[in-house]
Amino acid sequence: MDRMVKVSFRGKETKEFLEETTLLEVSHNYEKHYNYPILVAKVDNDIAELSDKIFKKCTVDFYDRSSTVGNTIYGRSLQFILIVAAKKVLGNEAEIVIEHSMDKGFYCEIHNVDIDKPILKKIETKMHEIVKQDLVFNKVSVSRFDAINYFKKRNQIDKVKVLKYISNSYVNLYRLEDIYDYFYGEIAYSTGPIDDFKLTYIKGNGFVVSYPSVYNPECTLDYVHRAKLFDKFLDYTRWGQMLGINNAADLNDVITTGKSGELIRISECYANSQLLEVSNEIVENKNTIKVVLIAGPTSSGKTTTSRKLETFLQAKGVKTHQISIDDYFLDRDKTPKNKDGNYDFESLKAIDVNLFNKDLTKLLNGEKVLMPQFNFVSGKREYKKKWLQIKSDDIIIIEGLHALNDDLTMVIERNQKYKIYVSPLTQLNVDNHNRVHTSDTRRLRRIVRDNKYRGYNASDTLHMWKEIRESEEKNIFPFQDDADVVINTALIYELGVLKTFAEPLLFSVDENDEVYPEAIRLINLLRNFLPIPTDDIPQDSVLREFIGNSCFK
C-alpha cells in the first residue's frame, strides 16, 4: 500500500501526498499564493530544490523571484543558461567569466573568442530558445575526483582548482543539455521560469546581463551604465589578474605557500593608493573645495576611509575638521516613524537639516559655532561647550548615510563639494561561474562587527539585513552617480580573514530560525576559502573597523 505523507503549507494548510512526490508536484498546489513561477522550496527551514522528494511529514514554503532567496536562484540559473547558449553559439573554446554585480544584473566577459553586438544578440536569442524549451536542470552527484578529471579534460582549470580545496567526497554537478557545471548554490528545476532578461553590450568582450530584481520583480529594467562604478570594478579585476589572483583557489594557493602576509601588504598599499590619489585631487582644488562628503552602503568602511583621508590631507598641510551628521538628529519625540510605527532613523527627515545648514554656513563664513552632540541614551541633542571655528583654507569632512544627497547640504554650492562614494566592490569570485556578491562581503563584515561591538549575534544581523538593504536602495544608491570619485574598500584577502570570525557566529544560528537558510548559504560560501591569520593586518586597515584593534577609535 502506498504511504501518504502530511505536508503543511506555512504551518497552516495541510494536505497529504504520496511518499516520494517531488516538491515540484507539491508546489503546483500552492501556485496561487505567488505572483511569479515558483523556483525553490523551503522544507522544515532547509532550502530544497524542486526536484527533491518528500519522505516524511514536513512543513513547506516556496520562493519566487520576488524574494531574496528566489532571486538569487533566478540569477544563478540564468548564468547557466548564458554559459550553455554562449557555447552553442561560439563553440566550446569560448570561456564565459561572470565577473561582478552591476546595476541589477551582472557583468560578464567572454574569453578566447571575440564578440560584438550582433554576436551577443545571437547568444541572447539562443538563451530565449533554451527557455522556451523548458529544459530540466539535471543534478548529479559525482565523486570529487571524477568532477576534477571532467573539468581537467575540458581545460576548465578554475573548476579544477576550486574543487581541490573542497573536502567533500562527493559534489553536485548540474547538466543542461550536454554541458556540466559546478555551482555552490541551488538551481531552478527547469529553464522555463527564467524567461525575463536582457543582454547589453559594453565594450570589447564585455556585456551585462540584467534581470528582474527583488525591488522590481515585474520585469527587467533597461541597463543604466554607471561609469565610475564600472571602471572601479574593472580596475580592481585587472589588478587582481596582474597578481595572478582571479578566484578563491588562487587566494588559497597564496595561503598554502605561506605568502598571505605579503599579499596583505600589497593589498593595503593598493587601498592606500586610492586615498593618495583622492587627497592629491582635493589639495589641487582646495581653493574651491570646502566640504568633503563621504557615503556608502553599510559596512563599507566609511569611518576608516574618512579618518585615513583626513590623515592623508593633514600630511599635505591641509587642516581638516570632521562633522558627524548623527549629532544633528532631531530629538526622539520629533523623529519620524516608518509604516510599522518604529522610529525611522534612516530617513533624512530624522536629521535637523535646517540647523545643519545654518551651522555649515556660519563655519564657512569663519564664524565660531557651538556644535551639538546627540545623546543616544536620552534621545536629545545637547551642547557641551564644543566650539568650532575654521579658516578659509580648512576643509570640512562629513561622513554619513545621506552625505551624497544634496538636500542635506543645500546651502553649499556644488563646486564646493567633493563627493566620495565608498563600497567594497568585490573582485574575487569562487570561480569563473560562481561570483561573490558585493552585498555578501558587507553582510559578513556587518555580522562580525555587530557581534564584536554591539552585542548582536549573527541571527540579529541577518534579520536586520532586509531593512538595511531597503534603506540603501532608498537613501544611498540613487545618489551614487553624483559622486566625484568611487573608492573601493574591498581587500583581496579579506574573505579568508572574515571566515575565521564569521563562520563560528553563523554556526550559532538555530536550525529553526527564519534566517537559518541564509546562514547556511554564507557558510557554504566561506567553505571555498582557507582561513588567514590577522597578524599582518595593519591597525589602520579598513578591515580592522570590523575585526577589531583599529587605531581609529
Long-range contacts of 226-230 (CB under 8 A, 24+ apart): 226/102, 226/103, 226/480, 226/481, 228/421, 228/481, 228/483, 228/485, 228/486, 229/102, 229/421, 229/425, 229/480, 229/486, 230/102, 230/107, 230/202
Q: What is the pLDDT of residue 376?
A: 86
For the stretch 233-286, pLDDT in tens is 999 999 999 999 999 999 999 999 999 999 999 999 999 999 999 999 999 998
| Three cell numbers, residue 188 | 531552478
- What is the number of other CB atoms lying within 10 angstroms of the CB of residue 14? 11
- What is the DSSP secondary-structure string of 398-433? EESTTTT-TTTTTTS-GGGEEEEEEE-----BSBTT
Selection from 426, 404, 399, 425 nearest residue 484 by Cα: 404
Measured between alpha carbons, how far is 334 from 238 in angstroms, rounded to an integer? 49
Selection from 400, 405, 399, 408 nearest residue 355 by Cα: 408
Positive or negative, the CA dihedral 391, 393, 399, 402 is positive
| Three cell numbers, residue 445 | 563584515
Q: What is the pLDDT of residue 1?
A: 58
Q: What is the pLDDT of residue 104?
A: 87
Phi, psi of 240 (to 5 degrees): -60, -40
- DSSP, collapsed to helix, strand or coil, labels residue 320 as strand
User: What is this structure's pTM?
Assistant: 0.93
Measured between alpha carbons, how far is 330 from 345 in angstroms, rounded to an integer? 9
Asked if 429 contacts 435 with a C-beta cutoff of 8 angstroms, the reply is yes
Measured between alpha carbons, how far is 304 from 543 in angstroms, rounded to an integer? 9
Asked if 207 contacts 86 with a C-beta cutoff of 8 angstroms, the reply is no
Asked if 507 contacts 523 with a C-beta cutoff of 8 angstroms, the reply is yes
Q: What is the pLDDT of residue 13?
A: 86
- What is the number of other CB atoms lying within 10 angstroms of the CB of residue 160? 19
> How far is CA 47 from each of CA 187, 399, 420, rounded to the nearest angstrom?
11, 39, 39
Measured between alpha carbons, how far is 374 from 369 in angstroms, rounded to an integer? 16
Tell the CATH topology of 4-64.
Answer: Ubiquitin-like (UB roll) (3.10.20)
Measured between alpha carbons, how far is 300 from 421 in angstroms, rounded to an integer? 10
| Three cell numbers, residue 532 | 588567514
One CATH from 2.60.40, 3.90.70, 3.40.50, 3.30.70 for 237-319+391-547: 3.40.50
Measured between alpha carbons, how far is 102 from 90 in angstroms, rounded to an integer? 24
Q: Domain limits of the chain?
A: 4-64, 237-319+391-547
Asked if 164 contacts 249 with a C-beta cutoff of 8 angstroms, the reply is yes
Measured between alpha carbons, how far is 280 from 215 in angstroms, rounded to an integer? 38
Residue keyed to cell 552527484? 141
Asked if 539 contacts 489 with a C-beta cutoff of 8 angstroms, the reply is no
- Alpha-helix runs per DSSP H in 424-483: 438-453, 458-475
- What is the DSSP secondary-structure string of 349-366? GGB-HHHHHHHHHHHHTT
- What one-character DSSP code corresponds to residue 480? G
Q: CA neighbours within 13 Å on the CB side: how many for 434?
A: 21
| Three cell numbers, residue 215 | 525591488
What is the SS3 string spanning 167-204? CCCEEEEEEECCEEEECCCCCCCECCCCCCCEEEEEEC
Measured between alpha carbons, how far is 119 from 506 in angstroms, rounded to an integer? 44
- Residues of the chain with pLDDT below 70 are 1, 427
Which residues, 6+ apart, have CB-to-CB distance to 273 below 8 Å? none
**Which residues lie across from 27 on neighbouring strands?**
none
